[in-house]
Amino acid sequence: MTVEQNVLQQHSQKHQQTLLNQLREVTGTTDVQLLQQALQVSNGDMAEAVAFLTEKNAKVPQQDETTYYQTSQVASDRYISVGSQADTNVIDLTGDDKDDLQRAIALSLEESNRAFRETGITDEEQAISRVLEASIAENKASLKRTHTEVWSDSPNPHDRKRIDSCPVGLKNVGNTCWFSAVIQSLFNLLEFQRLVLNYSPPARVHDLPRNQKEHRNLPFMQELRNLFSLMVGSKRKYVDPSRAVEILKDAFKSSESQQQDVSEFTHKLLDWLEDAFQMKAEEDREGEKPKNPMVELFYGRFLAVGVLEGKKFENTEMFGQYPLQVNGFKDLHECLEAAMIEGEIESLHSAENSARSGQEHWFTELPPVLTFELSRFEFNQALGRPEKIHNKLEFPSMLYMDRYMDRNREITRIKREEIRRLKEHLTLLQQRLERYLSYGSGPKRFPLADVLQYAMEFASSKPVCTSPVEDIDSSAPPGGTTGQQLPTPSTAEQDSLPPLESSGPASGPTTAPTAAQQQRVPIHKPFTQSRLPPDLPMHPAPRHITEEELRVLEGCLHRWRSEVENDTRDLQGSITRIHRTIELMYSDKSMMQVPYRLHAVLVHEGQANAGHYWAYIYDPHQRCWMKYNDISVTKSSWEELVRDSFGGYRNASAYCLMYINDKKPFLIEEEFDKETGQILSGMDKLPPDLKQFVKEDNELFDKEIEEWDALQARKAQQEKLALATAAAAAAAAASAASSTSTSSSSPQPMSIESSPPDNAVPQQDPEYMEQPSPTNDSKHLQEDTERAISRAAAEQEERSPEALLNAAIKLEYARLLRFAQEDTPPENDYRLQHIIVYFIQNQAPKKILERTLLTQFADRNLAFDERCKSIMSVARAKLDLIKPEEVNMDEYEMWHQVYRNFREMTICMVTGLELSQKTNYMEALMYLIYAYQYNKELLSKGLYRGHDEELLGYYRRECLLKLNEQAAAMFESGEEPEVTTGLGIMNELVVPCIPLLLAHDTERDLLAVEDMRNRWCSYLGQEMESHLQEKLTDFLPKLLDCSTEIKSFHDPPKLPTYSTLELCERFSRIMAAVCRLPTEGR
């Protein structure tokens, strides 16, 4: 066959497949044999083919309206934008008029053919154009967003710097997560990566006719090479694929916007690559049949063996991505088994010339890269829109394809027949088992063994001689107790009671109960009453039964129960053995010779109309799974992949599986240097032109980092000068204040500069230990110090100031140590009352504790009696004598800074919780978000450095859910101001917080995110005004973005200033309020 004939044959196959896809979409018919028959009967005329299928379907009894009609490939309808407007030229198809249906089909086909004649562009290519233009438009629109800090790159280039040899991410330039997922999966096929990087355009490119394919494919190949080279050698954490996307967009002309199905994009991408390599292959092998590396890598062949109207046939067909239906199957092998058999195939194996039609597929040649498309979308004809299938579908990490190979056809047929027979037997056994496990004739059914056990328990209960209603005294409280015999109510119940009215003293033992008490007594409290009244029978019982009757009945029931249990056990054992036999049917070595290892899983989260895409890709060198989510590339696990990919758990599930032949290691092997034998890595992989390209880009990035560092250095210098100026002014003010003989009433920082050398630099204490005058709100600290001094003076025989100081410090330390070791309720946190308690619980060094206590006793605001003055002077002198090598001042300041952070975080938490209790969720959210982050940082360095993370997480989550509820209610109102406000809440508050919940990956946070997304995705199927649809379509991709990249956020809220006493009181009040919530509620 010549090259021209080969090209014509490929074009003919593609044209036929396009017709099949159009016919399938218009009619909803999934039977390939029936579709091909319709095309043959109509000689390729689409209108006649549709009429043929319509008449054929009319003879089939109609199914229920709610039945979902599944299509194997939904093209442009799968991602119809919610905000798109319907054509004004509408034909009513809701009636029974067949002429309307025929006219609609004819108009659709005529429009499609007219567009192709005028532009030379197919509908599939126009669909690609629409998604690309939507991506570019979204990218441009993102530049005009008001809050660009949430969606733009970090201004700090160090945040965008690649760490070592970590994989490079791809920036989402506007609804292009599908591009990132597909490109990353292909890039990590090292053989494919080498082919793209080493591709060179045909030498005769200038002599070739400038047709559309060449004009489109060659520039795209160059941009793909540039993109791959950056992914290999860039110093950036992620790179921008906009130019490659622009090339795709410029290849077509369309003004409509529509989100694109990734499987169709992958088809077109591989087609373009195939065309580009075909030009190169034809040039390299003139006179020979060219070998296209893309075809050899991704395309295989299967043999279609079947019967059509009683006539047997065999056809060999080529395939690329193999489509599989998901609905109705539990694992990948079941999908494959169903895809390999179409129609009724009994006649294939019988000698009779039956009129039945059907076919089997048998792979004759599998590609090195085997890709399965999982069809998780089906078109609901009753509702007129596509819907996503969320069913669970399992797939293995190692897939053996032997059972589907043509060379194993006979043995596979035998095994399939054996499995079919076993499954029939299994169905019978399961039906019998169900009769034992769901026994009864009513709506409620129970296991038969339990029914017999309950009957035995009833019969053997102690007989009751009276009616269950006769023994209740209507004048007495439940349980037979009297008013005087009731237990004393709890404190909480007493507080809720009104004052008792009595003429005698309240403590009188003979005081009669009042009317109010008698009315309250009969109230039954099922949730607080922990046990049944003592005289109430535990279970119903027979009125009368003789010993002989009981003996016979117990014997029968016991024997029957044993028989039922044995039968149930035998059935379960048989079912388990059959399952095991089916599982091991293909486990012999002869059927494990074609292993394919899972290379990549492409995941979609969302609904049919909108969603987000990412990929899990196996790294064979690190032997772990990696998650590629736009700019974020992180290590993952098989467990996470299963959770996100199998489906059934959330709205996330796999839509594409990429397996590679495990016996062809060249697919993922690194390239070696021919001279040195060393593995080529990084820039060494690249050809000279791409090395230069990457080098220039890296130089630009290095220059950006240098400019940023220089800018930060200038800012730091300016801040340093400002701090020095402020410190000089403060020192001058302190010097002026110290010259006065009396203490000022204004707050002054605690000083330890009593009688220091003239050249000594005054040391200032941390802000939280600044001691105002005794009349201010830090008076309690001075009182504690003075109390310790008084106790020391009372207990100490030696009265020297130094001895009293040592004794007072020991007493104070002992007191604080007791606080640190005491098991306190959540509302009483001694860490807030004194820094030493915090230090002890977090095992601060002894020297830090000693210096901090000395600082406390050196406070000049102590009482001005001679004893306190002398102790204060000794403490200051001791501080001055501490040498730098004895106490590391950097470490000292670090510990005090940690405590400052703890207090600030506590203030942030208390403020947020208080606002949350007042239902001011918008303000509360920012406080709780930052409190959670600060608290997490503290807890990462020690268990006692922060507060209860679960409590903070609960209220942070509650705020987000409440705000989401409010915003959704505003959107549902339909009023423009309300809708704008609701979407503003989501865009400015809720959506930026979602990555914080996803990053920590706790189950309740993930469920909360899922609840919020489901609420908004539920609007997709509802009728609404066009402007609401447009707003929803613009908003949903932001909400469904699964990136865990923590982007720049709002500035931290301003914290109020609390004294220690006030902070402790507010903390105690709010913790007492929130801790009343049941633990299971959190």
Using DSSP, state whether 315 is helix, strand or coil.
Answer: strand
Contact between residue 354 and residue 346 where contact means Cβ atoms under 8 Å apart? yes
Integer Cα distance of 921 and 980 in angstroms = 18
Choosing from 361, 599, 604, 947, which is the catalytic residue?
A: 604
Contact between residue 927 and residue 989 where contact means Cβ atoms under 8 Å apart? no
Q: How far is CA 871 from CA 173, 714, 748, 784, in A?
A: 69, 47, 20, 15
Contact between residue 1043 and residue 605 where contact means Cβ atoms under 8 Å apart? no
Choosing from 361, 612, 834, 896, which is the catalytic residue?
A: 612
Distance of CA 219 to the CA centre of its chain: 37
If you search the block for the tokens 């199998």, which residue do you land on?
646
- What's the half-sphere exposure (Cβ side, CA atoms, 13 Å) at 980? 3
Integer Cα distance of 992 and 1035 in angstroms = 13
Integer Cα distance of 894 and 931 in angstroms = 20
Burial of residue 686, with CB atoms counted within 10 A of its CB: 0-12 exposed, 13-18 middle, 19 or more buried: buried
Choosing from 177, 868, 959, 993, which is the catalytic residue?
A: 177
Using alpha carbons, select from 965, 1036, 961 the residue that is nearest to residue 1005: 961
Integer Cα distance of 803 and 650 in angstroms = 69
Contact between residue 521 and residue 486 where contact means Cβ atoms under 8 Å apart? yes
Tally Cβ neighbours within 10 Å of residue 269.
19
Integer Cα distance of 223 and 203 in angstroms = 18
Q: How far is CA 203 from CA 199, 282, 1021, in A?
A: 12, 11, 53
Contact between residue 363 and residue 300 where contact means Cβ atoms under 8 Å apart? yes
What six digits make up the tokens of 201? Answer: 């355009």
The total number of residues written for the chain in this structure:
1082
Nearby residues of 398 by Cβ (< 8 Å), 6 or more positions away: 595, 596, 597, 598, 662
Question: Would you list the DSSP string of 983-1036?
Answer: HHHIIIIIHHHHHHHHHHT-HHHHHHHHHHHHHHHGGGGS---HHHHHHHHHHH
- Please indicate whether residue 604 is annotated as part of the active site: yes
List, edge to edge, every strand of the sheet that includes 358-365.
Answer: 311-319, 300-308, 358-365, 341-343
If you search the block for the tokens 């694929």, which residue do you land on?
241
Integer Cα distance of 14 and 1037 in angstroms = 33
Residue type, 243: R
- Please indicate whether residue 177 is annotated as part of the active site: yes
Question: Would you list the DSSP string of 855-917?
Answer: HHHT-TTS--SHHHHHHHHHHHHHHHH--TTTS-HHHHHHHHHHHHHHHHHHHHHHHHHHHHH
Question: Would you list the DSSP string of 912-966?
Answer: HHHHHHTT-HHHHHHHHHHHHHHHHHHHTT-TTSS--HHHHHHHHHHHHHHHHHH
Integer Cα distance of 659 and 321 in angstroms = 11
| Beta-strand relationship, 169-170 and 238-239 | parallel
What six digits make up the tokens of 801? Answer: 């100031």
Binning the chain into helix, strand and coil, the percentages to the nearest 5 are 55, 10, 35
Active-site residue list: 177, 604, 612
